[in-house]
Every structure is written in C-alpha cells, then in structure tokens.
Homo-oligomer: A and B are copies of this chain.
C-alpha cells in the first residue's frame, strides 16, 4: 500500500501516465475519441490510466472553460419548513436526473438577505434559479429574468406578468373553505392571515370575500388578524380575535402553522374544537387526521408545485427560451374531516 496523496489528480498527470498529451487525454476521456479518430489503443491506455489514478475531472475548470456550470440555485424563506423542504426536494431530484447540482440558500424570510443570496448565486454562474420569494419586492428578480437567467418563482408570486410563476390556486381554495364554513351556518368567521401583501395571502383574502359575497353575507374585515404564516402569529391572532369577538364561531387559518397556534389559543381559552369553535386550515398535514378534532383542510399539492417548477426551469435551460405560458396554477383540494360543526 502506498501512501495516499491528498491533492486531486489532474488531467495532466493522467496524460503523462498514459504517455500522451493533455489534449488527447481530454478527448479520450470525454467520449470524443471517435470524433477525433483516436486509436483504440491510446483511448484505452488513457482510460486505464485515469481509472488507475482515480482521476475525477475538476468541474471547476470544466465550468470556467465551458461557461456551463451545471448549477441550479434554490432560494427559500425557510428550509426547515416542510412545505419549502418539499419544494427543495423536487428541484433537487430533478437536478440529479439532469446532472445538475443544487445550491441551496435560506433567506430567513428577509428580503434583503434574499437579494444578497441571489447575487451570490449569480456570481457562481448558476444556470437557473428557483425562488420562493419573501414577498413584496421583485426588482432583483425581474432584473435576472431580463438578463435571460432562467427563473421560476414558486408559491409567492407577484403581479408581474413576465415572471414565470407556479402557485396553488389560493383563491379557489379559500373560496371553497369559506363556502363550507358559510354553508355550515357560520357567519362570524375569524380569519387568521399570513404575511400581508404577499400574493398567497391577498388571493386567499379575495377568495374569502368572494364566498361571502356569493352567499350574501356581509364580511367584517375587523375579523381578520395575524401577520405571518407561523405558529406565533396564529396563536396571537386567534387569541385576540376570540377574546375581542366572542361571537366568532369559526376560524379560518391561512396555514397549518397558524392552525397550530389557533389550537393552542383555543385550548387556553377553554374552547373545544369543533364543539365550541370550528376550524379550517390552509395546508394539510400528515397528522391532521389524528388530531383530537380531525382537521378539515385545504391541501396544496406541494409535490406538483415543486415538480412543475423544476420542469419549467429545466426546459428553459435546455431550450434557452422562456415558456409560452408564464403563470401556472395548481389546483387545491378540500379535505373534509371533522373540525367544523354544523350550526344551522
């Protein structure tokens, strides 16, 4: 056994070992032997040398030379959130299938961080980017698109018709959820909203109002509370709403984290679901069916969301063209369990 070296083997060393020039070695190893009419013998001796030395070409050098990095960027507001994690996974799997690698970044729900991370990814010459934007601002993203960097936005989009975007059909989902509540006799419905002014949130709000309008029930905007998609916001909003407006009979949580907070607030206020309080949530959850009150929810198809985003991205990269259709909506599914009490 010889002592193992630490430095990676270079093409030059392989070439020397095989007694040929670097160019020949390069050609023999990148399947271009035929094209260059390299003799079977040389080809094999190069391959043998490469194998023997455990040669693995530097993708860094390859990338610099070819200006193709085979790198994809993914920027998410919170990697640990199962919803985003699922998206990350779909992109990652698609990348692996297509021999791309994925650079992952976490913007921590902070727009400035997002801008910075995107710049860094660009400096690494990613060939494509998927981002679940924090929200509001999008100049840094439309700039990228203008530079012809394949870009796909997921979940939170913008009112910007040129950006390729994949979202759930938030409006329909919210409308259906609200309709179910209304048709179960609830009129005083508290809304636990997420991050205001983001597309999912505003769309869901529209869906809620649509449903009220369709049922000729006046909607009371003071029954909206909350400012984030997290547990804390759900808890605080539910607590406040339930305390200030005891007439509320049902809560519509805009995320499963919000719902979790609502459950905690309800427990503290001594209101049992569904007897004393009905609840419906956006986003399903594996444990939803086994809760004390199996939770009725609007299920987003995250896998489809991620998969479509990945497909749109890869296609853009391969064809060099943005897709014809920019805006994509994935349907949402209402899962009726038993957290809503009929009070008609």
Contacts and interface: CB of A to CB of B under 8 A. Distances in A.
15 contacts: A4-B147, A59-B125, A60-B124, A79-B85, A79-B88, A80-B82, A92-B106, A96-B113, A101-B124, A102-B104, A231-B286, A285-B287, A287-B288, A291-B291, A292-B292
B290 A260 contact: yes
A35 interface: no
B64 A93 contact: no
Interface residues of A, number: 56
A47 interface: no
A194 to B, nearest CB: 17
A179 to B, nearest CB: 26
Given A80-B85, A82-B82, A93-B108, 18 more contacts: A6-B148, A59-B124, A60-B64, A60-B69, A78-B89, A79-B89, A80-B88, A81-B85, A88-B88, A92-B104, A96-B105, A96-B106, A96-B117, A101-B103, A101-B105, A101-B121, A103-B104, A267-B290
Interface string A118-130: 0111111100000
Interface string A250-269: 00000001001001000100
Contact of A88 (B104, B121, B146, B231): B104
Point out which of A89, A102, A147, A263 has the most chain B C-beta atoms below 10 A from its C-beta.
A89
Contacts of A64: 58, 60-61, 64
A56 B290 contact: no
Given A64-B61, A290-B263, A106 B93 contact: yes
A329 interface: no
A19 interface: no
Contacts of A4: 146-147
Interface of A: 4, 6, 8, 56-61, 63-64, 69, 74, 78-82, 85-86, 88-89, 92-93, 96, 101-106, 108, 113, 117, 119-125, 146-148, 231, 257, 260, 263, 267, 285-288, 290-292
Contacts of A57: 123
A117 B92 CA distance: 12
Nearest to A80: B89
Contacts of A86: 80
Nearest to A266: B290
Given A102-B104, A285-B287, A290-B292, A123 B56 contact: yes
A61 B63 CA distance: 9
Nearest to A69: B60
Contacts of A101: 103, 105, 120-121, 124
Given A102-B104, A231-B286, A290-B263, A122 B89 contact: no
A113 B199 CA distance: 38
Contacts of A148: 6
Nearest to A4: B146
A337 to B, nearest CB: 12
Contacts of A290: 260, 263, 267, 291-292
